[in-house]
Structure 1
Amino acid sequence: MNAPLHAVQLVFLHGLESGPHGSKFQALYDLDPAVHAPDFEGVFDLDARMAIAERDLADRGRLVLVGSSFGGLVAALYADRHPDRVAACVLCAPALIADRWPAVAAIARVPGHTVLLHARGDDVVDIAWSRAFAVRHGLRLVEVDDDHRLSASRPLLVRLASEAMAAARAGAP
């Protein structure tokens, strides 16, 4: 069910090798059973994922986006395109690889309440990309001893999402 336009909707954007209802989604569901997750399974093209996000999120009110890996890239791009709709972001091991996706360098805006969560042991997306993005945009980066899946950091992810939801609700019109 779509949220009223004044509501804050928690949205999970999954990565390339996961689905919309995986373990991160389940952890977020425990935080907010109304969490929504677009289905990007089998969609490996960035433009195609963005088109799905545009359609799927169009009438969901103010958003708190939690994006994992490739979903983190989609979240950052969506937030840049819709600064009036995205209240906060939690970007988990985001695929902000400017060498691979030139659109990363064009990102001009991210919500004031945006935090990056990235594992120092990530062997899929180098943490250096998150460090550079955080510096460029003046964002908080939380570095953890974990791997790309952030399995050991799930409680921290939920806490960061909870903080983002609280910040979004406090600033909601």
Structure 2
Amino acid sequence: MKIMFLHGLESGPHGHKYQALKAMFGDILAPDCRGIKDETERLKIITEVINHETGPFLVVGSSMGGLMALRLQNAHPDQVAGLVLCAPAIHRPTSADLNLDNLPPTIVIHGIEDDVVPIEASHPFGERLRTVNDDHRLSNSIEEILCAVAEIRRTVNEQK
């Protein structure tokens, strides 16, 4: 199962989280949505990538990328086998239409010191939410993110 990384608004497709994922898991798909704030445009770019690859995918999304991972799952549920959401930006008014029911195996990691996305925004994920002593970038929580990806990958493989 391929891993897809979706970056946030202020980062790029090959930043620190991507590099850590690549070092541990090998080839990582990472659509480039730099400079694109419009969710519809971002989803078009991401959908183009999945249309040229064989899925389903384990999708790791950071901040706006976490919101886009949920948008992708809502639009193409058969293409998303699992989710690891890092401080997902679901506090945005545009996320009110998201369906958080019937998600595939999902882990949400959110820093208690996040001053960009309120941690309360992740409370609807309930037991799937793992809080860490970190800020929005989750720079000190890379190990937790990698462990979550490995855990979701195991869970998905066991379900096959």
TM-score, length of structure 2 as denominator length: 0.93
Q: C-alpha distance in 2, partners of 1:41/1:98?
A: 18
**Aligned alpha-carbon RMSD (Å):** 1.5
Q: C-alpha distance in 1, partners of 2:141/2:92?
A: 25
Paired residues in the alignment total 159
Q: C-alpha distance in 1, partners of 2:39/2:101?
A: 18
Task: Note the alpha carbon deviations across 1:144-172, whole angstroms, 9 max, x for none.
Answer: 11000001101110010111122222334
What is aligned with 1:33?
Answer: 26
Look up the equivalent residue of 2:82 and give its one-letter code: A
Look up the equivalent residue of 1:145 and give its one-letter code: N
Q: C-alpha distance in 2, partners of 1:156/1:110?
A: 21
**1:11 aligned counterpart, secondary structure:** strand
Gaps of 5+ in 2: none
CA-CA distance at 1:98 after TM superposition? 5.0
**1:10 aligned counterpart, secondary structure:** strand
Q: Please list, as runs of the form range in 1=range in 2, the aligned pairs for 1:18-167 lying within 5 A after superposition.
A: 18-58=11-51, 59-97=53-91, 99-104=93-98, 106-111=99-104, 113-132=105-124, 134-135=125-126, 139-167=127-155
Q: C-alpha distance in 2, partners of 1:123/1:153?
A: 16
Deviation >6 Å, runs of 4+: none
User: Percent of aligned positions with the same letter in both sequences?
Assistant: 39
What is aligned with 1:4?
Answer: none
CA-CA distance at 1:107 after TM superposition? 4.5
Q: C-alpha distance in 1, partners of 2:43/2:118?
A: 23
Contact 2:2/2:28 (<8 A) preserved: yes
Task: Note the alpha carbon deviations across 1:33-69, whole angstroms, 9 max, x for none.
Answer: 1111111111111110011111111233110000000
Q: C-alpha distance in 1, partners of 2:54/2:88?
A: 23
Give the counterpart of 1:169 among 151, 157, 160: 157
Task: Note the alpha carbon deviations across 1:97-140, whole angstroms, 9 max, x for none.
Answer: 25343333x444311x10100001100000101012x14xxx51
Q: C-alpha distance in 1, partners of 2:108/2:31?
A: 21
Look up the equivalent residue of 1:18 and give its one-letter code: S
Gaps of 5+ in 1: 1-7
Contact 1:79/1:86 (<8 A) preserved: yes
TM-score, length of structure 1 as denominator length: 0.86
